[in-house]
Amino acid sequence: AQSVAQPEDQVNVAEGNPLTVKCTYSVSGNPYLFWYVQYPNRGLQFLLKYITGDNLVKGSYGFEAEFNKSQTSFHLKKPSALVSDSALYFCAVSAVSGGYQKVTFGTGTKLQVIP
């Protein structure tokens, strides 16, 4: 079985400061990892994914994520937070199960960027 843990329900950061949103995962085989963002009353928007290769993945809106196989982590980062980054962030792990792409999401982390 695959699973994702986002240990922080909420992360507060001052505008201009670096931010980190944590994620750990469990999956059999090669991990395919995703980050999505959700704004109020909206669906999820894709930010970035790790498939293979460089452990530092760059995505949309200046976000990046660092894959660490030994720690089974895929933390989301941004060097300088904006107020507009305030949203709900979901980490997800994907694997083929029963012949289809099964995506399991974490419970989400609310990011609050304080002006």
Partner 1 sequence: DTGVSQDPRHKITKRGQNVTFRCDPISEHNRLYWYRQTLGQGPEFLTYFQNEAQLEKSRLLSDRFSAERPKGSFSTLEIQRTEQGDSAMYLCASSPGLAGAKNIQYFGAGTRLSVL
- Binding region for partner 1 (CB under 8 A): 4, 9, 32, 34, 36, 41-46, 49, 51, 90, 92, 94-96, 98-108
Q: State which residue, 50 or 78, has the beta carbon closest to partner 1.
A: 50
Pairing of strands 10-14, 109-114: parallel
- Residues 6 or more apart whose Cβ sits within 8 Å of residue 54: none
Q: Write down the least CB distance from residue 15 to partner 1, Å.
A: 26
Q: Write down the least CB distance from residue 101 to partner 1, Å.
A: 5
| Separation between Cα atoms, residue 111 and residue 92, nearest integer Å | 17
Q: State which residue, 9 or 115, has the beta carbon closest to partner 1.
A: 9
Q: Write down the least CB distance from residue 95 to partner 1, Å.
A: 5
Determine how many CB atoms are found less than 10 A away from the CB of residue 50: 20
Task: Indicate the length of the chain as a whole number.
Answer: 115
Q: Write down the least CB distance from residue 49 to partner 1, Å.
A: 7
Q: State which residue, 10 or 17, has the beta carbon closest to partner 1.
A: 10
27, 95 in Cβ contact below 8 A? yes
